[in-house]
Structure 1
Amino acid sequence: MKPAWDKLGSKYKDHASVMIVDVDCTADGAQTCQKMGVQGYPTIKYFLAGDKKGKDYQQGRDFDAMLAFTKKTLDVEKCDVKTKKACKPNEIALIEKFDGKTSADIAEELKKRSEELKTIKSDMKAAKLEHNTKVATWKKREAALNKGEAILKQLEQLRKKDEL
């Protein structure tokens, strides 16, 4: 894992918002590791803005997995409404749509979108539950069919021997 970690560190060495850092918990860094709750080695922690405790990284330990996680979770440049820096075309369109609107107009749209998000999350939860229920039913049926198939194959073998 160390070579992958070092490679990730090299990739982000000059990055403004992502720092890849090593702490040796057996030497001078012991106090830091204790403070952060590190109990096993190697432990990877990541910190989002304002987070002082950090979260344990639980994904792949190869370079590609760590890079993908870093890009998705940490190296996220946010759309700046004022300068439009790092904004995607659909974000710019939204900014322009509400340019010149009152804070009440924006608050109303925000409320509407928030309600729609709640509905989507609720629908997704229901769909996931339905899916999981179907999968469980299919797996039970599959297991029963596999057992039945095995028994029938044994019976078939026995009958073939009897018929000889």
Structure 2
Amino acid sequence: MKPDWDALSADFADSKTVIIADVDCTAGGKPLCEKYGVRGYPTIKYFNPPDEEGEDYKGGRTLADLKKFATNELGPGCSVDTLDNCTEEQKTKLQEYIDMPAEERATMLESLKTELKEAESKHEALLKELQSTYKSSMDSLEKLKDESAPKIKLLKAATPAPPKEAEPETKDEV
């Protein structure tokens, strides 16, 4: 993936709205990775203003996939400061939020963040449970294979081969 990432970075090197960057989470970038919840390599995060928390990229990892995403999805998004980038539907919803009292907006935002965090925690717990169940099942299967293999071999060895049928005589035609 690294060559594709580097090619993407080169493609957007002159962009004023899209920045492609690497962070080494094992060295000086560790605090940054911790701040944004990066736990493994390669993790791709993207930020669209005014988003300051970033989102996990879940798309394809080829240069074509990355380039398509960067071209179509990155850059200034819909916000109060960039209304020209908004669809009519987004403008309507944005106006609804603008008209909402600031405290209500903040409460709604925190509620959504909490709901998302709880769902992610439940998802992670389920993943760990499934991994544990899978490992247990795999261990049981391997044990059964190990125990069964010698028996299967001996059972096959103890079973005489079926007698070969005599091949019919062939006559030469004159």
For residues 97 and 69 of structure 2, the distance between their equivalents in structure 1, rounded to whole angstroms, comes to 28
* Structure 1 counterpart of 2:134: 135
Query: What is the CA distance between 1:110 and its match in structure 2?
Result: 1.3
TM-score by length of 1: 0.55
Q: Structure 1, residues 43-87: CA drift from partner, whole Å, max 9, x if none?
A: xx615xxxx9598xx55xxxx6356457668x7325231124555
CA distance in 2, matches of 1:148, 1:98: 65
How far apart in 1 are the matches of 2:5 and 2:99?
47
Out of 62, 67, 85, the residue aligned to residue 65 of structure 1 is 62
TM-score (norm 2): 0.52
Q: RMSD of aligned C-alpha atoms?
A: 4.3
Instruction: Tell me how far apart the structure 1 counterparts of residues 84 and 147 of structure 2 sit (CA, whole Å).
Output: 62
| Counterpart residue type for residue 126 of structure 2 | A
Structure 2 segments unaligned to the other structure (5+ residues): 34-40, 43-60, 164-174
Q: Tell me which amino acid in the other structure corresponds to 1:95.
A: L
**Residue 44 of structure 2 corresponds to residue 16 of structure 1:** no
Indicate if the aligned counterparts of 1:81 and 1:95 stay in contact, CA closer than 8 A: yes
SS at match of 1:80: coil
SS in 1 for 2:159: helix
Partner SS, residue 99 of structure 1? helix
Q: Matched residues, percent identical?
A: 18
Alignment of 1:31-110 (within 5 A): 46=22, 65-66=62-63, 68=65, 76-82=74-80, 83-84=82-83, 86=85, 92=91, 94-110=93-109
Alpha carbons of structure 1 residues 2 and 140: separation in structure 2 relative to 1, 3 Å: closer
Aligned 8 A contact 1:79 1:88 in 2 = no
Extract unaligned runs of 5+ from structure 1: 21-44
Contact 1:80 1:87 in 2 (8 A): yes
Q: How many residues align?
A: 131
Is the Cα–Cα contact under 8 Å of residues 8 and 67 in structure 2 kept in the other structure? no
Give 1:141 deviation, angstroms. Answer: 1.8
Secondary structure, aligned partner of 1:137: helix
137-146 vs 9-18, greater mean Cα deviation: 9-18
Q: Using the alignment, how far apart are the partners of 2:89 and 2:135 within structure 1?
A: 40
Offset, 1:160: 2.1
Q: Which structure's CA Rg is the greater one?
A: 2
Deviation at 1:135, TM superposition (A): 0.9
Task: Compute the displacement of 1:17 (Å).
Answer: 4.0
Q: CA deviation at 1:109?
A: 0.6
1:144 and 2:143 are equivalent in the alignment: yes
Distance of 1:122 and 1:4 partners within structure 2: 32
